[in-house]
Chains A and B, each alone.
Chain A
Amino acid sequence: MLDAGRRKLVEVRDLKMYFPIYSGLLRRHTGDVKAVDGVSFDIFEGETLGLVGESGCGKSTVGRALLRLYELTGGSVVIDGDDVAKLSPEALRQKRPTMQMVFQDPQASLNPRMTLAGIIGEPLDEHTSLTAPEKLARIYQLMDQVGLNRNFANRYPHEFSGGQRQRIGIARALALNPKFIVCDEPIAALDVSIQAQVVNLLEELQDRLGLTYLFISHDLSMVRHIADRVAVMYLGQIAELSPRDELYAQPLHPYAIALLSAVPEPDPSREGARQRIILQGDVPSPANPPKGCNFSTRCPQVQAICHRLQPDLIEVAPLRFVACHFVQPQQAQPAGSTGGTEATEPTQQGVNA
């Protein structure tokens, strides 16, 4: 199912996004909020990478930084051959059509004073030289694609329901035939009944248009549904990056284990056996992360080394990357047996020879 030889569309290396803190009378630069601190991953063409984590872990920042909606503090983001982090403003503008974003709050992310046609059509004005009828045709085509009635073209965002607005957001993102779309919690603000519709629409569009997604969400079940691989973030760093099934079946990083223990099982018999791990303490401030492993303050398996050294994200099994001193390639065992799940053979997984 995974093709290791497939082309990497997005390559992220050591991405850092710090937000400066100014304080005092003269507003001196006194520190940084390290929202994203050294994140690296790849996204293959046509796949969906899920990015999960608690609120405030930096997952949305990663999404925005990837499209350079922020000026990066460090690292590189190569998308389809160009390092987005280093493009000049004009070159970046030219690059925009290849990478798009679907936002969390469809109400706030649409300009309230523009009609639906205006919103969807604006990128076309900016990046294409279509004539007015061609443009209208394209707008109608996009509206059809996302399932919006053509009669709505001249309405304003506030006249739509949440689900419809998200469809507008998707149509707008699709307008310029992007290759890569960051979906930043696209369903978080929607009713549960609408969520499935939107996710299905995204999947359908991916099949039809060969899109690549970075799907950011805190809804682990939804990520399980849509993602091919999943990255778990904690405090600005990736704790584990694994193919979806392996991760859900057997998480390796202590944080991933704890996080996934919170996912309810659809099967009542297994749900009964599920043991929830409650982590102690609060998430440390990203302005002042702990020394060593950034999970060391809450980790159930914490050891002395964790307070001194920061573990690297290493491939402990084929396509499974974990950042923990106690999950090493030779054992590829979960850091502890607290999870109670039986270890499956790592060799069986992932590699499609």
Chain B
Amino acid sequence: MKLKTALLGAAAAFAMAPAAFAERGADGQLNIIYWQAPSILNPYLSSGTKDVESASMVLEPLAGFNEKGEVIPRLVTEVPTVENGGVSADLTSITWKLTPGLLWSDGTPVTSADAVFTWQYCTHPEGGCAQAARYEGVTSVEAPDDLTIKVNFAAPKPNPYQAFVGATSPLLQAKQFAECLGAKAPECTAANFGPIGTGPFMVTEFKTNDTVQMVANPNYRDPAKPAFASVNFKGGGDAQAAARSVLETGEFDYAWNPQLAPEVLAGMEAAGKGKVFAAFGTLVERIEINMTDPDPALPEGMRSTAAHPHPILSDIRVRQALSMAIDRNLLVEVGYGSSGRATCNLVPAPELYASDNTGCLTQDIEGAKKLLEEAGWMPGADGIREKDGKKLKLLYQSSTNAVRQDFQALVKGWWNEIGIEVELKNVDASVFFGGDPGSPDTFQKFYADVEMYANNFDGTDPEPYLAQYTCEKAPKPESQWQGENINRFCDPAYDALVAELGKTGEMAKRGEIARQLNDMLTKDSFVVIPLVDRGRTSAASNTLGGVVMNAWDSELWNTSDWYRVK
């Protein structure tokens, strides 16, 4: 009995501490499935999630984000701040110090020249760089010595963690991409398909839209990592098959985004082979209100422009009633299960920027009806409210997607209940988000009264995201219908506050302003009706250890720490 207990204890000790004894390549093959297959491993030429995340196992930025949204060093000794002198006091430059002795997977040293090159690569006027926004406001990148990288900004940059931070802005090897600048970028197929990186793995074979084969990087900076000797990164199929292969058959260790009905996913989890992980970032499913008149009777070029305010929705009481009639918790239950949370905020995270607004979470049909009556909308003979002989009727559009159509049906039911006639419309996602100025069905053109989609912001700083709602960013014919202020919201006070945010460096103050901006769009004006804070989900096998979901960076951010549970 004693012996048995001792043996069990020993076995438990081994099981508990595999990471401690880890040795590079000891755990065999890691199998990852993304049901959207990676097309290219150069995130500067494609910003698709599948491409950025698969590349993040190979290419690394100077610093990344952890699961809490904090900036963590990857290739540098520490994260530069004003306090440690890494960020200049006037916020116009940031200086990174590379960890000495870092090697690319081909054995050559990583130097500051690689960073300078990467900046040149992405900012080349003919390159069509997909991540150009990461380098916006950067006037130059200097390399005073081999290990020092100084990034200079045109104006004070309160959030300097953009260039070289996060999976969308990794370091490229200057030697490998030297011939691939500008218009030549797409021609470097070999480099784009097999970039040399500093990450835990390196590419051995890449089949576009199919598979990526990787092996452990022999020159990885931590000699004990990664635990896996090779990676089979499979793409293609559908979300259900990917989830099944992890949760039911156990063929794969990790499946990205098993976007399935909550009960289907729960049924698969019951097989006991794996679990679904969720992490919440800033992706919010919302209804956007059109502040301008989309009436088809208006001439083209006048529809949905600031010249014609919306006849019904310009009244805040109507907008508020729309929000009050919605039961967000039911929407979460129907559409997302554990991977969604009801929210009243446009910026639900990080904590510093998230408003404490929870007023919308309780559905209030009676209150909504009362508001509509106050606004002069009285029930008509057929149950539809009327005012001055005009019916309260809305066109509600969204992209074609099973969950969105469920949401549309539910919301339509609630709005009908408060006496609003609702016409539903769904548009194929490639058209809706395609941005073709010639199409009447894009979300920018907004030829509807309300529309629903999801959006988020890159990284942890909401400034550019909140700045989208300034007056001049409204899509209009003069700008080829491009622009991010989808609902044509225009409030000089808001614009002024955005400008102030751009000048504020102190974090607490920034948080306060951001929360205020968020409230101006949501609970103060109901121009945006947030519904669900959508988490990222992934399925991981019970035999895979070390998975930490991260909503702020590539979810494969810590594959160097992953190991096989024995």
Chain A–chain B contact at Cβ < 8 A: no
